[in-house]
Amino acid sequence: MVTCDNILNPRTKANSGIFKIDIQDLTGCAIESTDISNIDLSVSMESVPSFSFVGAQSSNPKNGGTTVTTLRFTPSMKMIDNDILYITFPSEIQLPSASSLSCTAEGVVKTVQCSLIAGSPNRLKAKVTFTSGSNPSTSQFYIKVNNVKNAPSTAKSSVFTEIKATDSSDNDIMIFTDLGPTITNPQPATASGSLAQGSTDTGVATDYTITYSTMNAMADSSSFLIDYPDIITVP
């Protein structure tokens, strides 16, 4: 039996391939060799680690506005060129169409190629390369996704989900197991409109008609809140 310490396991659960053992004499002549038809000297991993951190931030604080979403990742293991990131955006945040989708590489990320997953319009796939050919574990990196449309409300978004990294052959490297990040846009969009009075005579009861256009879609449960001047009397 031979034991070797401190060997680093493979990055994925893909089969390692076969270890081969040759036994030689002092002159280098073969004495024995493993017969791969009779013995399986391979290893495969049963689980993959999680990212240490995943974050998301919008460059535009206005709800419903077009924005750049910055995605930050802190890997728990080394990543190399042509590794792939997958992340599903909340349903209320809209990714652009495939023809308008683009991503920007920043910092230690040299290039990033983004695409959408067929049948999952809000699921992003991003293949990355690094300025040094790799990114060490615990070293944060980020990418920017352009032409994203913010959620239509100032409420906190639902979480980003199904976050993982794979190698270039789509073998899982890391799967994010914590609760995904959210985005909040604190600035409401600006509605435009006009006001018309049924009568302009002072002190008489009349109709006020407010016509306006919203910047965002309104759900069935949405409400209207109208502030009016103190000199106006509402029954």
Mean pLDDT on 167-178: 94
Of 40-44, 79-83, 94-98, least confident by mean pLDDT is 40-44
What pLDDT, on a 0 to 100 scale, did the predictor assign at position 31? 82
Instruction: Write down the mean pLDDT value for the chain.
Output: 88
Q: Alpha-carbon distance 105 to 43, whole Å?
A: 35
Q: Alpha-carbon distance 212 to 215, whole Å?
A: 10
What pLDDT, on a 0 to 100 scale, did the predictor assign at position 136? 94
Answer yes or no: is pLDDT of 220 > 80: no
Bridge partners, 54 (sequence order) = 73
What pLDDT, on a 0 to 100 scale, did the predictor assign at position 37? 55
Domains plus CATH for the chain? 53-175 (2.60.40.2230)
Answer yes or no: is pLDDT of 213 > 80: no
Tokens at residue 74, please? 């802190």
Mean pLDDT on 162-190: 93
- 131 φ, ψ to 5°? -60, -30
Residues 143, 144, 148, 154, CA torsion sign: positive
pLDDT digits 0-9 by tens, 118-147? 888 899 999 999 999 999 999 999 999 999
Contact 181/159 with Cβ under 8 angstroms? Answer: yes
Q: Give kind and range of the element (H or E) at residue 22.
A: strand 22-24
